[in-house]
Amino acid sequence: MTKTVGELCKQIKGIYNLNGSADTVITGISSDSRQIEAGYLFVCISGVHVDGAAFAAQAVEKGAVAVLTTKHLDLPKSTVQIQVPDIHHALEDMVPFFYDYPGKKMRMIGVTGTNGKTTTTHIIAHILRAAGYHVGVIGTIHALIDDEELPIHNTTPDVVELQHFLALMQEKGMTHVVMEVSSHALALNRVAGIEYDTAVFTNLTQDHLDFHKTMENYVAAKAKLFQSLTAADHVKENKTAVVNIDDPWSKDILNACHCKVLTYGVEKDADLKGSNLKVELKKSSFDVVGPFVNVHLNMNITGLFNVYNTLAAIGAAHAEGVDEATIDKAIQTFHSVPGRFELVEAGQDFAIVVDYSHTPDSLQKALETARAMKPNRILAVFGCGGDRDKTKRPIMGRIGAELADIPIVTSDNPRSENPETIVEEVEAGVKEGLKPGQHHEVIVNRRDAIYRAVELAQTNDIIVIAGKGHETYQILNDGTIHFDDREEARNAVHALHRGDK
């Protein structure tokens, strides 16, 4: 896939200044100097940490033949410089064009909401595959092209990486792409140039207020996905919004929709209504009733929140034309998402659940689900991420104290912050939620916290280790170390059985 500088510049809707030959052939685009290959256009993005322009010379050394920049750079004369006032606007115009708009050649399904995106995208992909389609997935854990796994850095990658993934997917014969669309991505236009066919809203609760500042801004970012279904330059037909009607913010989402709408829920009247939920530790069942479905579903995942995710996935699959029998069969063979209410079994007589709940609502849902299993006691090991919404810390602390018997506060990716300060802020909320005589602990080192929970656990207790789920790292001020809650929990049980101190 190549384009000339001239062809790319033609796409720019605003003003630009071209310094160099318009006939220069561009073989690839990247905003990361470390990814540059011969013939590439290097995009200089001024980030939170550094200004990408500082890496332009390095990019040229690696083979970049052109740069997209806001200011003239001191580079070899042979390097083409495309100067624009706003890099992001220019990227939106140029990048989807460079890749020949791959999103227009596949069915695009976008899932947004505070919680449940990863789970819902995985269930949708599973159903579509069962229906015989080739499915690409883009989200928090990885990108998938059928079953080929590619690493990913953001839940929704920036416009360059995203279009690159889509181009690869289209080249490899994918018919559908199911992707998480984060609020950051919508606010920062990472999904520019993508035309969605089906869009799902899971829910909206507090998170990311460091970035969005208010819940109103947060929902406005989410609503952009649904507005995009009706944008004037979108040509595909049969677009559907699949909306959780039980969520109070669904009103704002519905206001943004001028396409077909399919609602789902368990409380209010909905096109897809779930009822009669029965939960066990490893499975659950419920009924789904609606105009196109009337089925009793048995699932290998558990919790009320997964009923919502499954209803959302059924809605999206229906919108994509999959029949009820295929959906029913596919749900029975869906086996969980790594790190989402994942059980760790190491021969202990209590349960250990590793879960990715890192928001107030998801922590509440995870602990309520654990309570529904009627355990002896719940021990919750949790913390909050550094360089993220600080206002959620005491709220999560309170939830941990109110819904677990023994809350154990620990670290979860402190990043550039002091871990001691973060746990103190979480503990402040714990103290508000504690009942008289209720025990709690604060153990900054996450490994020690997990080992302590295992040491305290008794027969028929449940330990919920929340926040990191599938993550295999801990991001600390001085670097990232390998860390996997599942491994740590297993090792802790083995150590206990060996009688290690």
Ligand X SMILES: Nc1ncnc2c1ncn2[C@@H]1O[C@H](COP(=O)(O)OP(=O)(O)OP(=O)(O)O)[C@@H](O)[C@H]1O
Ligand Y SMILES: N[C@H](CCC[C@H](N)C(=O)O)C(=O)O
CB of 218 to ligand Y, least distance (A): 13
Q: Considering only residues 30, 31, 81, 118, which one is a binding residue for ligand X as defined by CB under 6 A? A: 118
Region of 28-36, 38-46, 91-99, 109-117 interacting with ligand X (CB under 6 A): 109-117
Residue closer to ligand Y, measured from CB, 52 or 467 = 467
Residue 89: which H helix or E strand, with range? helix 87-98
- Judged by CB under 5 A, the chain residues 49 through 68 that form the site for Mg ion are none
Tokens representing residue 229 in the block: 């279904």
DSSP one-letter code for 178: E
Q: What gap in Å lies between CA 425 and CA 272, rounded to an integer?
A: 41
Q: Count CB-CB contacts under 10 A for residue 254.
A: 16
Residue 18: which H helix or E strand, with range? strand 17-19
Residue 175 annotated in ligand binding: no
CB of 352 to ligand UAG, least distance (A): 25
Count residues contacting ligand X (CB under 6 A)? 22
Residue closer to ligand Y, measured from CB, 361 or 471 = 471
Residue 190 annotated in ligand binding: yes
Contact partner, 467, from ligand X, ligand Y, Mg ion, none, Cβ < 5-8 Å per class = ligand Y
Q: Is residue 412 involved in binding ligand X (CB under 6 A)?
A: no
Q: What gap in Å lies between CA 10 and CA 7, rounded to an integer?
A: 5
Q: What gap in Å lies between CA 410 and CA 319, rounded to an integer?
A: 42
Q: Is residue 180 involved in binding ligand X (CB under 6 A)?
A: yes
Q: What gap in Å lies between CA 263 and CA 246, rounded to an integer?
A: 9
Pairing relationship of beta strands 378-382 and 462-466 according to DSSP bridges: parallel
How far from the centroid of its chain's Cα atoms is residue 340's Cα? 12
Residue 396: which H helix or E strand, with range? helix 392-403
Residue closer to ligand Y, measured from CB, 152 or 261 = 152
Q: Is residue 48 involved in binding ligand UAG (CB under 6 A)?
A: yes
Q: Is residue 184 involved in binding ligand UAG (CB under 6 A)?
A: yes
Region of 47-55, 79-87, 319-327, 437-445 interacting with ligand UAG (CB under 6 A): 47-55
Q: Considering only residues 119, 263, 411, 413, which one is a binding residue for ligand X as defined by CB under 6 A? A: 119
- Judged by CB under 6 A, the chain residues 8 through 37 that form the site for ligand UAG are 31-34
Q: Which residues contact 24 (CB under 8 A, 6 or more apart)?
A: 4, 5, 65, 66, 80
Q: Which long-range contacts (C-beta less than 8 Å, at least 24 apart) are formed by 311-314?
A: 311/244, 311/264, 311/265, 311/266, 311/272, 311/274, 312/111, 312/116, 312/120, 312/123, 312/124, 312/200, 312/202, 312/242, 312/244, 312/264, 313/120, 313/123, 313/124, 313/127, 314/127, 314/264, 314/272, 314/288
Contact partner, 302, from Mg ion, ligand Y, ligand UAG, none, Cβ < 5-8 Å per class = none
Residue closer to ligand Y, measured from CB, 81 or 410 = 410
* 166, 190 Cβ separation under 8 angstroms: no
CB of 141 to ligand Y, least distance (A): 11
Half-sphere exposure of 127 (CA within 13 A, CB side): 28
Q: What does the per-residue mask of binding to ligand UAG show for 153-172, with x meaning CB under 6 A?
A: xxxx-x--------------
Contact partner, 79, from ligand UAG, ligand X, Mg ion, none, Cβ < 5-8 Å per class = none
Site residues (vs Mg ion, CB under 5 A):
117-118, 140, 155
Q: Which residues bind ligand UAG (CB under 6 A)?
A: 31-34, 45, 47-50, 52, 55, 153-156, 158, 182, 184-185
Binding site as annotated, residues for meso-2,6-diaminopimelate: 388, 412-415, 467, 471
